[in-house]
Chains A and B, each alone.
Chain A
Amino acid sequence: MEWIAPGIVLSAAPYGESGAVIHVLTEQHGAWRGLARGGQGRRQTPLWQPGNLVSLRWVARLADQLGTLTGEPVHASAAFVLAAPDALSMLASCCAVADGALPEREAHKPVFDGLLSLVTRLSLAPDRASDCRADLLRWERDLLAELGFGLDLSACAVTGASDDLVYVSPRSGRAVSRAGAGEWAGRLLTLPEALLDDTIAHISDPDWRDGLRLTGHFLDRDVFGNRHRPLPAARIRLADRAALSA
């Protein structure tokens, strides 16, 4: 068994003295693990950094084996963001969320395309990471939908109205309008406009904080909670950074 495809490195776990089990995301094969011999070594450590775009080759005798993964660098995204704390925390968060959320060996093209776009943009302009905030929120929203936990932001769950949607119910994941929220507004999650309108490119600090709180709640409860895992630490740190800056 063998395939060759471009992919994004999600994580690298030490295996033995010098090997590493690499988790990658590819367009055709989805999230996939493979053993990289010498993956912890001096030559390969820079290659297997989360966010890097790599040309991958996976080989195994049988399809259900772990197999061996080798790679050639295509774009060293991680190296470009190391000095930029905001870009680094966003890249680390995306990769950690994809690493823990996606089922193995199941293609999710929208998730791959979104992550590819995010890591590329973050690495090409690490000092303008705030330009990618709205796209990161929408990527998390789309990830929830891909995994079967999509938010229903089409109309108010209370009144049925489709305008002035400013909240989301933390229980049902359905949008709620300002009029429909009434005295329950304090218990609802604030819905940033960027999650309703995909053409919005820039969002404010409070919207960034609220958006991360909204998607983080459903990722935590529906995706990671169902697997009895906490939200990744990198995602929690990103939300903490956003809360501090808001």
Chain B
Amino acid sequence: MTEIERLIALLSRLPGLGPRSARRAALALLSEPQQRLLPLAAALGDAARAVRACTTCGNLDTSDPCRICTDPSRDRSLVCVVEGVGDLWALERAAVHRGVYQVLGGVLSALSGTGPEDLNIAPLLARIEAGGVREVILALGATVDGATTAHFLADRLATLDEAPLVSRVGQGVPMGGALDALDDGTLAAALMARRA
């Protein structure tokens, strides 16, 4: 396998890229090596060396604890539990949560065999037992696996000596969403979560 073929093969494994698009990307990189290829190679190397998982919350950052965990303006009494780093980034992008996070690294799943021991639940419990956590927000997906994980965590947190308030993100009609375009499940959830 030549260097070019190896580059294409590696690129084609990335999400959103197949062999054809990987070939186009490789050609674009190789046609301008100084402007595109070498800076990208340097950035990849730097990221591989510097980025690590935060031992406190599970976020990916160049420092451990991560910038969110060390930010003094963050409310440490408010912990938002998310499934993955992508969910954390989505909440940060929206700038709607001023507390800290806990990345579970997945949800309970009968199909994939993911059990409680496979999730980052122990760091969350340790953080709560250390004191100072007022509320835990369960921001998990509106799926059977996500809801099962949320119920499991709520039950587990309720057994703690200083059990925090456990809340969940709302479910229902999205911003700008027309009712007739929604699926039945979302409509049902929205109607059940109605408020005066």
Contacts and interface: CB of A to CB of B under 8 A. Distances in A.
Interface in B138-196: 142-144, 147-148, 151-152, 154-155, 171, 183-186, 188-189, 192-193
A92 interface: yes
A47 B192 CA distance: 18
Contacts of A85: 151, 154-155
A233 interface: yes
B187 to A, nearest CB: 8
A173 interface: no
Contact of A50 (B144, B171, B185): B144
A13 interface: yes
A71 B137 CA distance: 34
Contacts of A237: 108, 148, 152
B152 A79 contact: no
A204 to B, nearest CB: 21
B96 interface: no
A130 interface: no
Contacts of A232: 110
Contacts of B192: 80, 83
Interface string B92-124: 000000000000000011110101000000000
A57 to B, nearest CB: 18
B110 A234 contact: yes
Contact of B184 (A45, A79, A89): A79
A78 interface: yes
A129 interface: no
Given A17-B15, A17-B16, A82-B189, A76 B148 contact: no
B46 to A, nearest CB: 27
Contacts of A83: 147, 192-193
Interface in A79-132: 79-80, 82-83, 85, 88-89, 91-92, 96, 99
A62 B96 CA distance: 52
A150 interface: no
A51 interface: yes
B118 to A, nearest CB: 10
A92 B148 contact: yes
A19 to B, nearest CB: 13
A73 interface: yes
Nearest to A232: B110
B185 A79 contact: yes
A233 B147 contact: no
A73 B183 contact: yes
A88 B186 contact: no
A11 interface: yes
B151 A233 contact: no
Contacts of A99: 110-111
A46 interface: yes
A89 B171 CA distance: 20
A73 B110 contact: no
Contact of A233 (B113, B144, B154, B184): B113
B111 A11 contact: yes
Nearest to B18: A17
B148 to A, nearest CB: 6
A99 B148 CA distance: 17
Contacts of A75: 184
Shortest beta-carbon contacts, A-B, top 4: A79-B185, A76-B185, A85-B151, A82-B147
Interface of A: 11-13, 17, 43, 45-47, 49-52, 73, 75-76, 78-80, 82-83, 85, 88-89, 91-92, 96, 99, 232-234, 237
25 contacts: A12-B111, A17-B15, A17-B16, A43-B183, A46-B186, A49-B143, A49-B185, A51-B144, A76-B184, A76-B188, A78-B185, A79-B189, A82-B144, A83-B192, A83-B193, A88-B144, A88-B148, A89-B151, A92-B110, A92-B144, A99-B110, A232-B110, A233-B110, A233-B113, A234-B110
